[in-house]
Structure 1
Amino acid sequence: MTLFSISGKTSFRLSAIAVASVLALSACSKGEQQQQQGAPELVVSVLTVKAEDTTISTELPGRLESFRSAEVRPQVSGIIKRRLFQEGSYVQAGQALYQLDDASYSAGLASARAQLAAAEAAQAKANADLARYQPLVAADAISKQEYDAAVAAQRSAVANVNAARAAIRSAQVNVNHARITAPISGYIGRSNVSEGALLTAGGATVLATIQQTNPMYVNVTQSALDVMKLRRQIAEGQMSAVNGAVEVTIILEDGSEYPQKGRLLFTDPTVNETTGQVSLRVEVPNDDNILLPGLYVRVRLPQAQANSAYLIPQRAVTRGAKDTVVIVAADGSMRPQEVTIAGQSGNNWIITGGLKDGDKVAMDGTMIAGMMGAQKVKTQEWQASQPQQSGAAAAPTKPNSASAPAQSSAAASAPAAQSASQAK
């Protein structure tokens, strides 16, 4: 009886464990089937491409430079008595900026005027002598030699008068230069000298600098290799030259675009031997004085017209030794495709090779599809205004659908575990 009792308990325990195992396995199998049936299909956003004629623009770094710039320097020596302008203000050409001590120059002017008066008096006497000698020489009352001396004296007196007048003009120039004026109109910077400073004519001291800031120049450089490549493509017919005036977009240091467009003035025909760069100059209006000399900017410069090119958002292109995009075929399969990038237009790459009309370029979701080992995906047309997806399936799914089988398995195994515990 005891043996039968022990065997009965053992048999009961084994039966309970077996039932629990069967229920658990059944729940897992059912959960896997539900997971397979309810798994969401991965959806990839694609852009269906179509060729179009596109302007190829290049962004180049540059520095702003004033339209005109003039250094204020002394033309005569002297001590500064007064500064006559406000630093940072706008000055007109000819406006007085500094007043030097002009006492010595004024004295020189007065002396020159006195010399002129003496020369004019000598000229008057010489003219009178010559007038008296003319009838006398005609009557042979005086010798020809005396008459010639009178003529020479009169001419010398005229020359002395002219020299005295020139000395007056020179002295007047020195007096005028003692009042230093603005050579051009524009904004004047800080003064490098103060009252009481001794200035020397022809010295290296720059008193101040005046700059005209409307319009402004932008000096930019471009790689000579890029220039030659572009010219070769135009010569071979792969691209067309931009006709007419070239409008240039100025991009400020904070990334914003300057509201007014500039224009390309010239491209330097020579290459810098040290840097291998070609210099270009752009002129841009500056009516509101937003732009300042020396400011770092970037210019977006149209340089060629690409015929039958494709505009592809930069996010869809993988840059590297070979630039590639992901093409989604009609059957949902994905493959990488090498492309040729010719330039940039805003946030898009300009692609001139590797694509054809109707190709569907993947925009979002390819990373997750690759991680999950998806062989085929569904597609939906990408919209430029839609936010960038994280790569998850775009199709709507039921909440917690992936975790439902696990929950069912846990629920199914709970009674079996409880029965086994009670059997103990």
Structure 2
Amino acid sequence: MFLLPEVTRKTSRGWRATAFAATAILAIAAQGGNSEVYAQMPGGAASKPQVGVIELQPQSVAITAKLSGRTVASIDAEVRPQVGGIIEERMFKEGSEVKAGDVLYRIDDDAYQASYDAAVATLRKAEAALPSAETKLQRYEELIGQNAVAKQDLDDARAALAQAKAEVASAKAAVETARINLDRTQIRAPISGRVEVSSLSVGALVTASQSDALTTIRQLDPINVDVTQSSTNLLNLRKAVREGRVKLSGDNVQVRLFLETGEEYPETGKLEFSEAYVDPTTGTYTLRAEFPNPDRLLLPGMYVQAVVEEGVAQNSFLLPQRAVSRNARGEPTGFFLGADGKVEQRVLKVEGNVGNNWLVTEGVSAGERLIVEGMLFVKAGGEAIGTLVTINATTGEVESHGDAVSNQGGKSN
């Protein structure tokens, strides 16, 4: 019963060795590394750790902003009656597509038809009196030269003709007014789009220009997307443009859309406008993009995320996120393998993320070798052996391993 402590003392060194090996294996797994290539365990033959590197080259990178917002119908039209009466018939199916000019409702038109007929009769009466007035004036003009009629009679004949013409014009206007009111008993769709539920049924009494709409028509193709952008990001973008680091995309700015489910919308939109006003409570302003919606997949009010191409950052570097960490001061840093085989840790200036990469504008230069695998086994000022690797652009993981690099920065033979 007293042998157990002694056995524990004799084997404590073995437990420590086992624990150290397990910790190293877990560290390799956390880095996504290949234990056979990058891990040199205690007792191994090599003294320099092997690391995976990529050679950095400048490129033009599209600057995008992922903004949240909601879909909005491109046109909303509330349908209201322009004349009063009883609804006799509803001519549409709720939720269907209608075209501009389609009849939606019919109002009882008996009174309006009677008014139109009366106006037409008045016009005919006025037109019938016009030839007589014209003939009388013509006769008096012939007789005035013979002094057969008084000049006052001639003036009265001219006034009678002018009054007859005015009565004809007034009657024509009354006919047109009656025709318009009669036509308005057929309530038509002002725009093409999807018609919503009807607020009134057949037999309901409506009045001209009432406050309650009969129904609403929404145009869904194309459809708008309203998103918000912070004024801080706008100022940063304009500063980058002034400094020449970013070139704006121009007037035809492309926009991609992601739905609530995370899937990308198949159609590409374009930026229509941005508000010239910043909300003082939120510090944001609104941008509107327009998207084709032929299948009516997008409905007003949906939550979406829009990716807006703001510009192009020229001569920039994309560094895999897996290769960038932060120092004790919170600054982004990366390990670089120099031409002499020594490791250097450097502070980077990160502008934002592009997929699985960081957009870095300062701290790197063309042709340098960035360590992307095996960072746990190196330290600043130490030495390492680099092997070129390929990074999967979609997953951000190491995809394949290539040749080892020499101390002069090229591949070894």
Q: Fold conserved (TM > 0.5)?
A: yes
Alignment of 1:3-402 (within 5 A): 28=11, 31=14, 43=28, 44=31, 45=33, 48=54, 50-53=56-59, 54-243=61-250, 245-314=252-321, 317=324, 322-325=330-333, 327=335, 338-355=347-364, 357-362=368-373, 381=389, 383-384=391-392
The equivalent of 2:48 in structure 1 is none
Specify whether residues 379 and 196 from structure 1 end up closer, same or farther in structure 2 by C-alpha distance, changes over 3 A only.
farther
> Which of the two has higher C-alpha Rg?
1
> What is the rounded CA distance, in whole Å, between the counterparts of 2:153 and 2:359 in structure 1?
97
- The worse-fitting range, judged by mean Cα deviation, of 50-59 and 95-104 is 50-59
Specify whether residues 24 and 127 from structure 1 end up closer, same or farther in structure 2 by C-alpha distance, changes over 3 A only.
closer
Name the SS for the 1:263 alignment partner: strand
Letter aligned with residue 149 of structure 1: D
Specify whether residues 74 and 383 from structure 1 end up closer, same or farther in structure 2 by C-alpha distance, changes over 3 A only.
same
Gaps in structure 1 of 5+ consecutive residues: 1-16, 390-424
Cα deviation, residue 350, structure 1: 1.8
Cα deviation, residue 165, structure 1: 1.0
> What is the rounded CA distance, in whole Å, between the counterparts of 1:190 and 1:346 in structure 2?
43
| Equivalent pairs, count | 364
- The worse-fitting range, judged by mean Cα deviation, of 276-285 and 179-188 is 276-285
CA contact (8 A) 1:49 1:310 kept: no
Cα deviation, residue 282, structure 1: 1.3
CA contact (8 A) 1:322 1:338 kept: no
Name the SS for the 1:265 alignment partner: strand
Deviation string for 1:342-389 (max 9, x for gaps)? 1232233322234453121458x85xx89xxxx999987574378979
Identity across matched positions, percent = 36
> What is the rounded CA distance, in whole Å, between the counterparts of 2:19 and 2:87 in structure 1?
94
> What is the rounded CA distance, in whole Å, between the counterparts of 2:239 and 2:136 in structure 1?
86
Specify whether residues 349 and 38 from structure 1 end up closer, same or farther in structure 2 by C-alpha distance, changes over 3 A only.
closer
Letter aligned with residue 193 of structure 2: G
> What is the rounded CA distance, in whole Å, between the counterparts of 1:161 and 1:90 in structure 2?
44
Cα deviation, residue 315, structure 1: 5.3
CA contact (8 A) 1:326 1:334 kept: no
Gaps in structure 2 of 5+ consecutive residues: 34-51, 399-413
> What is the rounded CA distance, in whole Å, between the counterparts of 2:91 and 2:16 in structure 1?
93
RMSD across aligned C-alpha pairs, in angstroms? 3.8
CA contact (8 A) 1:325 1:362 kept: no
TM-score (norm 2): 0.76
> What is the rounded CA distance, in whole Å, between the counterparts of 2:21 and 2:189 in structure 1?
83
Cα deviation, residue 75, structure 1: 1.2
> What is the rounded CA distance, in whole Å, between the counterparts of 1:36 and 1:167 in structure 2?
102
Letter aligned with residue 354 of structure 2: S
Cα deviation, residue 100, structure 1: 0.7
Relative contact order higher in (CA < 8 Å, ≥ 6 apart): 1
Higher helix fraction (1 or 2): 1
Name the SS for the 1:206 alignment partner: coil
Letter aligned with residue 48 of structure 1: I
Specify whether residues 47 and 292 from structure 1 end up closer, same or farther in structure 2 by C-alpha distance, changes over 3 A only.
farther
- The worse-fitting range, judged by mean Cα deviation, of 47-56 and 90-99 is 47-56
The equivalent of 2:41 in structure 1 is none
> What is the rounded CA distance, in whole Å, between the counterparts of 1:192 and 1:225 in structure 2?
45
Deviation string for 1:183-237 (max 9, x for gaps)? 1111111112211222221221111111222222212221111111111112112
Specify whether residues 73 and 49 from structure 1 end up closer, same or farther in structure 2 by C-alpha distance, changes over 3 A only.
farther
> What is the rounded CA distance, in whole Å, between the counterparts of 1:215 and 1:29 in structure 2?
73
